Amino acid sequence: MKRIVPLYHVKNVLRKCYSGLLCPQTCILCGNASEAGLPLCSHCIQTEFEPYIGSDDLEHLCRAEPRCKHCGKILISEHEYCTRCRPVKDETAEKPRPACDRIFTLFPYIGLGQKLLPVWKNNSIRTFSTVFAPLIHNFLTQHPEFASLPLVPVPPRPKKLWEKGWDQIEDLAKDLAVYPELTIYRCLKRQDGIPQKKLSKADRAVNLQGKITFSAKAVPDKVMLLDDVMTTGATLEACAHVLKNAGCREVYGLCLFFD
């Protein structure tokens, strides 16, 4: 870890020099000059992102809107859970208990995510990870009981890595690794298959069955899965099932955006 931090600072200095002297950056949200060679300016980061994670109340991470107690999505009713996570009242009905014990989602996909995620993924603006990592770290430091958990990146499809040469979650994990109190634990592998985004909700639930495997020797007691966006939660559930079958007792999820 001590060798990573100086390298991280060197990269920041080089990026600032490149942006300031050779290729000035503009903020994707407001169009004004962006400091430090990042795709977002500090003003937009403070006004658009930080209000969502500035609360110490885990039940109200998103300004004044109440969130589902399990998946973190904004509620549109007075229930404590969204319709997907709401317990079944009929005792005869079967509803499997989620493998992921709780999911924390930070920012809305509608609006913010729609503007940023496609640019991050499709235009290969990899410095987005440098923007998002401090925001994730800020959330985790507000809740030390979760900051101490190993962060397990959701694994990418091998074909995606071969085609693009990089993965946004792995970039995010590398930027989070510079914080000494955070531990990155790459213990999952994924086989090739159909991308989740191309499937219906029902197909997503079964698409990853048997395609994610546990690839480490040691099994942590508790972990926090790391992903970029949660739509149906199928990817987190598939990863959580594998981790619990390997012996992990509690599995949580942390996603940048909720849809």
Residues 225, 237: Cα–Cα separation, whole Å = 10
The one-digit pLDDT tens for each residue of the chain (259 residues) are 344 445 555 555 555 554 555 567 889 999 988 877 788 988 898 888 876 765 444 444 444 467 787 787 777 666 778 877 877 665 555 667 889 999 999 988 888 899 999 999 888 888 899 999 999 999 998 888 898 999 999 999 988 889 999 999 999 999 999 999 999 999 999 988 777 777 766 777 777 788 899 999 999 999 999 999 998 888 999 999 999 999 999 999 999 998 8
Domains in the chain, please, with CATH?
Answer: 58-85+97-258 (3.40.50)
Direct distance between the N- and C-terminal alpha carbons of the chain, in angstroms, rounded to an integer: 34
The answer to whether 196 and 205 have CB atoms below 8 angstroms apart is: no
Residues 128, 32: Cα–Cα separation, whole Å = 17
The tokens for 165 are 């040469």
* pTM passes above 0.75: yes
Residues 213, 223: Cα–Cα separation, whole Å = 16
